[in-house]
Amino acid sequence: MLALLLRDLRLATRAGGGFGLSLAFFLIVTVLVPFGVGPEGGTLARIAPGILWVGALLSCLLSLDRIFALDREDGSLDLLATAPIPLEGVVAVKAAAHWLTTGLPLTLAAPVLGVLLNLPEAAFSWLTLSLMLGTPALSMIGSFGAALTVGLKRGGLLLSLLVLPLYIPTLIFGAEAAKRGAEGLAAGTPLLMLAGITLGAVAILPFAAAAAIRVNLR
């Protein structure tokens, strides 16, 4: 399992692996928003938590099709399906690798980019905490969507259409937690809901994704 995790991390961080693509897209979204809504500090501060969460969510989408597609193309997925380790464990490891190379860097970059959107100082810690709790769910849900479309050529658009509705609860509670933190209100409830979504996704979706992969490999 550790060898598989290290292999996926190396593939993601090498040239053309897509490691920097999500961060670059996140930066572009953050830079373009002030041009669209205007440079007024109060407006930017009000919408900053939602914009940063939307940017992180869309950035996660960019690399979802790489989770299983490359292994499918070179035959590695067939070997993993017949390996002694459970296929559910393979799915969990690949989701973890996606989070380490996408979700975690986005979480660390969000407070820095929040400066560009005049994010209130009180919201920095809440934004980071909400992303830390929510981005694992994005990776796990994305892995499930990637498993559903692994047998399709050019299934990236379909993958996005399948995954985006499942991302909405995470987006709502994540942005709400950051917004409440910025306003000095209690953010415990949305954070608990966010943690519940992540724990539920981690507990259930590896089994659903493994079943989808087995169907696609038949």
Burial class (CB in 10 A: 0-12, 13-18, 19+), 88: middle
Burial 148-179 (b: 16+ CB within 10 A, else e): bbbbeeebbeebbebbeebbebbbbbbbbbbb
pLDDT tens for the 218 residues of the chain, in order: 777 888 778 877 775 556 688 889 999 999 898 888 887 878 888 899 999 999 999 999 888 888 887 778 777 887 887 778 888 999 999 999 999 999 999 999 999 999 888 888 888 999 999 999 999 999 999 999 999 888 777 667 888 889 999 999 999 999 999 999 888 888 889 999 999 999 999 999 999 999 998 888 87
Residue 140 CA: distances (Å) to CA of 94, 179, 207: 9, 24, 11
Return d(Cα 165, Cα 158) in angstroms, integer. Answer: 12
SS3 of 39, please?
Answer: coil
Look at residues 162, 146, 155 and name the one whose alpha carbon lies nearest to residue 210. Answer: 146
Nearest 5°: CA angle at 27, between 62 and 134?
60
**What's at 1, amino acid-wise?**
M
Contacts of residue 23, Cβ cutoff 8 Å, sequence gap at least 6: 59, 105, 106, 109
Predicted TM-score (pTM) of the model is 0.91
